[in-house]
Amino acid sequence: MKVLMINGSPHKNGNTYTALREICSVLERDGIYSDIIHIGTRPVRSCIACGQCRMGGTNRCIFDDDICNQVAREMERADALVVGSPVYYGQPNGAVVSLIQRLFFSAGALCQGKPAAAVAVCRRGGATSAFQTMCMPFMMMNMTVVGSQYWNIAYGREPGQAALDTEGMQTMRTLGRNLAWLLKKTHVGARHLPPEPEPWLPMNFIR
């Protein structure tokens, strides 16, 4: 079993990484492999709703000049997803939002039915709204959102300070144990899809 983690901070070894590593440590003890992909400092395109990804069933975005398709390839082999981000103005890093929107639009079939969790890291405030923003797309992908003993939040400013947030680190470990438990309960050697959906009944509020 494999958990894909996205470090949405421009700082590779900052507090977002510290929080994700705490989750990894628990997963590793449970025999579950985890891989952290750093989003980096290069630009990440926003989705332009061109629809090219829907043609041919490739599960890939037509634009292949950033990290999006790399994450899609990793998601194809992953059993769960954890997205971590610093908090900017009460929101996740804009590059993380662009990445998740494009990933789910172009390769949502690779994410359907898999467990997911969000992790928000901040200096002081805005973490709950950033956390909520990251969780909302999971629900539209039929993903099981994994919780903890508190919202998945850690605090720190300087690199590594999040490790001093004892409750925050305990929250990450609890999240890791919950994720490991869920994967072991549901994994039987084959990827599970959510229940067969009803035919879509779109209803526009403006008629």
pLDDT at 197: 75
CATH of the domain at 104: 3.40.50.360
Residue 203 lies in a domain: no
pLDDT in tens, the chain (207 residues): 999 999 999 999 999 999 999 999 999 999 999 999 999 999 999 999 999 998 878 899 999 999 999 999 999 999 999 999 999 999 999 999 999 999 999 999 999 999 999 999 999 999 999 999 999 999 999 999 999 999 999 999 999 999 999 999 999 999 999 999 999 988 755 555 667 778 877 878 776
Q: 162 and 155 in contact (C-beta within 8 Å)?
A: yes
Residue 205 lies in a domain: no
Domain, as residue range, for 53 = 2-186
Residue 207 lies in a domain: no
pLDDT at 206: 75
Q: 68 and 102 in contact (C-beta within 8 Å)?
A: yes
Please state, as a whole number, how many other Cβ atoms lie within 10 Å of the Cβ of residue 42: 10
Query: Using one digit for the tens of pLDDT, what is the confidence trace for 27-44?
Result: 999 999 999 999 999 999
CA separation for the pair 32, 15 (Å, rounded):
23
Interhelix angle for 94-107 vs 68-77, to 10°? 60
Domain count, the chain: 1
CA separation for the pair 173, 127 (Å, rounded):
18
pLDDT at 196: 79
pLDDT at 69: 97
CA separation for the pair 59, 52 (Å, rounded):
10
Sign of the four-CA dihedral 64, 104, 178, 159: positive
Residue 133 lies in a domain: yes
pLDDT at 186: 84
Q: How much is the pTM?
A: 0.92
CA separation for the pair 101, 105 (Å, rounded):
6
Query: Using one digit for the tens of pLDDT, what is the confidence trace for 185-206?
Result: 887 555 556 677 788 778 787 7
Residue 182 lies in a domain: yes
Interhelix angle for 15-29 vs 166-186, to 10°? 40
Residue 206 lies in a domain: no
Residue 180 lies in a domain: yes
Residue 96 lies in a domain: yes
